[in-house]
Amino acid sequence: MNKPIQSIQVGTLSKRDTNISIFIIGVLFFIFGFVSWVNSILIPYFKIACELSNFRSYLVTFAFYISYFVMSVPSSYLLKSVGFKKGMMIGFWVMAIGAFIFVPAALSRTYEVFLLGLFTLGTGLAILQTAANPYITVLGPKERAAQRISIMGICNKGAGILAPLIFAAVILRVGDTELFDQLSSMGEAEKNAALDELIRRVIIPYSSVGVVLFSLGLMVRFSPLPEIDTEHESSDVAIANSGKTSIFQFPHLILGAFAIFVHVGTQVIAIDTIIGYANYMHINLMEAKVFPSYTLFVTICGYVIGILVIPKFISQVNVLRICTLLGVMFTLLIIFTHGPVTFLGHATDISIWFVVLLGLANSLVWAGIWPLALDGLGRFTKLGASIMIMGLCGNAIMPLFYGYFADLYDVRIAYWVLFPCYLYLVFYAVYGHQIRKWMF
């Protein structure tokens, strides 16, 4: 017979225990970032090695993030059954299986098997995210939630800066630019041999990642991370929720989940398409590989600003409003500004730097939405968090829209897909998060 899971109320944690818990969750967010943002280099890499169109190459993000939609609600029931720590261990082990799937995929150069591996990695991450995001949201004063999430964002995006650079350093060679130029003129047998050699370079790094993920699962399971009690409500929350029988009776949560959907879509487009946009400007892959890191660095700058000013100088909701308006402005600048510029050693069109600046616009949107959407959920918090994690499937769907319009028109015009997304985020930041009752 299983022992009942021992949970503690957030308010009973000592400052030391809270800081240790924040540190451990920070490590988790670093892992999330490393595994997630390596996709920005996988997309152009698979496009070459597996000979894909723009649309098919963005199935990398679709396969990885659609798992959040499929697994987020089952993840909440898993966490309710086994607790946060065992659930995180299971999440890491599922991710390890996904990393090991890359080995047979590379040996056969089968894109569909790679997509299965990415889906499995995403499944494990869905479990981890369902646990970690509400954890850091409730682990301290509500008005400082955006500040704590900003710290997690630095861990996540810091890993995101390193991931494509490390991955590119491991799998790309000095002479690859010349190889890529020669592929079209090679015979079928010679080209297949070259592509087989290229794709098999992922075997060692992903095998190593699998071992590390398995080990991290064990470490989290036996760490001092406490179980957090989200099942019991304060008296005022209990009274407010006394007539609630369904998670769909919280409009600010449902609207917040859709806000997460469009936000993560804008974020992944800004990061995962920028190499392709640089290629459109005739910048080769070896030079273009650093652009995702620029976007993520600007995002980290936004997080640092958030940590310094929230809530001392400005509320988290006002920061959310500013960031969403910046998103609208930078999107229009990407589409309508033209002209050559040389910056950081890159001779490019100026519009690509507005793609980089989307990192600033996106930086504090996630941190702003989560505390607003989970406010007052009480015993519905775990299920509410899983609904929010379902919104991460925006990472899967939005890049496909971008890829479709990039093939249909061009990669610059395709950035129009961001415009309605940012308009909705402005709506949620200004009004949507205040809605507590459906009008129909």
- Give per-residue pLDDT as tens, 297-320: 898 899 888 888 887 888 888 999
- Residue 77's closest CA among 199, 200, 247? 247
| Mean pLDDT of all residues in 384-412 | 86
Please give the single-letter amino acid code of residue 140: G
Looking at every residue in the chain, the average pLDDT score rounds to 82
Any residues with CB less than 8 A from the CB of 380 and at least 6 apart, and which?
241, 244, 247, 250
pLDDT band at residue 2 using 50, 70 and 90 as cut-offs:
very low
Worst-scoring range by mean pLDDT, 129-143, 209-223, 234-248, 402-416?
Answer: 234-248
Please give the single-letter amino acid code of residue 123: T
- Select the more confidently predicted residue: 176 or 123: 123
Q: What are the tokens at 55?
A: 């649309």
Cβ 398 vs Cβ 337: under 8 Å: no
**Superfamily grouping for domain 14-228+247-434:** MFS general substrate transporter like domains (1.20.1250.20)
| Mean pLDDT of all residues in 285-294 | 83
pLDDT of residue 3: 42
- Select the more confidently predicted residue: 107 or 144: 107
pLDDT of residue 439: 78
Worst-scoring range by mean pLDDT, 83-87, 114-118, 261-265?
Answer: 83-87
Cβ 365 vs Cβ 235: under 8 Å: no
The DSSP element (H or E) to which 346 belongs, if any, is strand 346-349
Look at the block and give the residue holding tokens 């009973």: 12
Cβ 44 vs Cβ 285: under 8 Å: yes
Based on DSSP, count helices (H) and strands (E) in the chain, helices before strands. 20, 2
Please give the single-letter amino acid code of residue 298: V
pLDDT of residue 378: 73
Per residue in 322-379, pLDDT (tens digit) is 999 999 999 999 999 999 998 888 889 999 999 999 999 998 898 889 888 988 777 7
Please give the single-letter amino acid code of residue 432: G
- φ and ψ at residue 240, rounded to 5 degrees: -65, -30
Q: What are the tokens at 432?
A: 């949507």
Whether the per-residue pLDDT at 176 is higher than 50: the answer is yes
Q: Rounded to an integer, what distance in angstroms lies between the CA atom of residue 244 and that of residue 344? A: 55
Q: Give the bridge partners for 228, in sequence order.
A: 8
- Select the more confidently predicted residue: 75 or 361: 361
DSSP string covering 77-117: HHHHHHHHHHHHHHHHHHHHHHHHHHHHHHHHT-HHHHHHH
pLDDT of residue 50: 82
Q: Give the pTM.
A: 0.72
225-247 exposure pattern, b = at least 16 Cβ within 10 A, e = fewer:
bbebbbeebeeebeeebeeeeeb
The DSSP element (H or E) to which 234 belongs, if any, is none
* Residues above pLDDT 70, as percent of the chain: 89
Q: Is the peptide bond before 224 cis (omega within 30 degrees of 0)?
A: no
Cβ 395 vs Cβ 268: under 8 Å: yes
Enumerate the domain spans of the chain: 14-228+247-434
> 340-343 and 346-349 as β-strands: parallel, antiparallel, unpaired?
antiparallel
Cβ 306 vs Cβ 367: under 8 Å: yes
Q: What are the tokens at 422?
A: 């940012």
Look at the block and give the residue holding tokens 């988790």: 28
pLDDT of residue 228: 62
Whether the per-residue pLDDT at 423 is higher than 90: the answer is yes
Q: Is the peptide bond before 164 cis (omega within 30 degrees of 0)?
A: no
Q: What are the tokens at 351?
A: 């519009």
Whether the per-residue pLDDT at 13 is higher than 60: the answer is no
Worst-scoring range by mean pLDDT, 75-89, 103-117, 128-142?
Answer: 128-142
